[in-house]
Structure 1
Amino acid sequence: MLNVKVDELEVIKLCREQVQKIVQDVEGEYVFWDSAELKKRTCMSWNFIQELFFYDPRFTKRKIGGKWYFPAKETREFLEAWLKEQSH
């Protein structure tokens, strides 16, 4: 018979460290998105984005040259809030 003892506090500590590392990696992935990334992240076409929320004054965007850029953190926060509002 095999008997294994696990230090539960150590396992919890290791799990928290790994989760924190993953979160930091994801958050540090992009500073801003371009329109292609926005379409990818929302699973929406450019026309649909424009119809639904592009012109919402709360939606932060900057046009540099002929290309749109969106700050990743603010865009993610806006999209999460916007989606919750759609259930009303």
Structure 2
Amino acid sequence: MVSVQVDERQVMKLCRERISELVKEVEAEYVFWDSAELKKRTCMSWNTIQEAFFFDPRFPKRKVGSKWYFPARETRAFLEQWLMEQPK
């Protein structure tokens, strides 16, 4: 009979490292988001985005023609900071 022992902490550490690598790869795919991607990433409607943070002067955005674009890295950093500033 064969017996195998697994260090669960080591397995979890390896899983977290790999997940982190995959997330970085996915995030690297986008240079900027459009409004549809912003709604998807925040799980908010366009009206909620406008009411919550769209007009915050720190929020990075650029209008090209009639369409809004948001630099992915800067927008993500802003959103993380904005969320932490919200009252509990």
Q: TM-score, normalised by structure 1?
A: 0.78
| 1:13 to 1:42, Cα distance in 2 relative to 1, 3 A | closer
- Residue 5 of structure 1 and its aligned partner are, at CA, apart by 6.6
Q: Which residue of 1 aligns with 2:26?
A: 26
Structure 2: which amino acid aligns with 1:82? W
**2:50 equivalent to 1:50:** yes
Q: Which residue of 1 aligns with 2:69?
A: 69
Q: Deviations over 1:57-77 (max 9, x none)?
A: 110000000000000111111
The number of equivalent residue pairs is: 87
Q: TM-score, normalised by structure 2?
A: 0.78
Distance 1:45 1:16 in 2: 31
Two-structure CA RMSD over aligned residues (Å) = 2.6
State the structure with more CA Rg.
1
| Unmatched runs of 5 consecutive residues or more in structure 2 | none
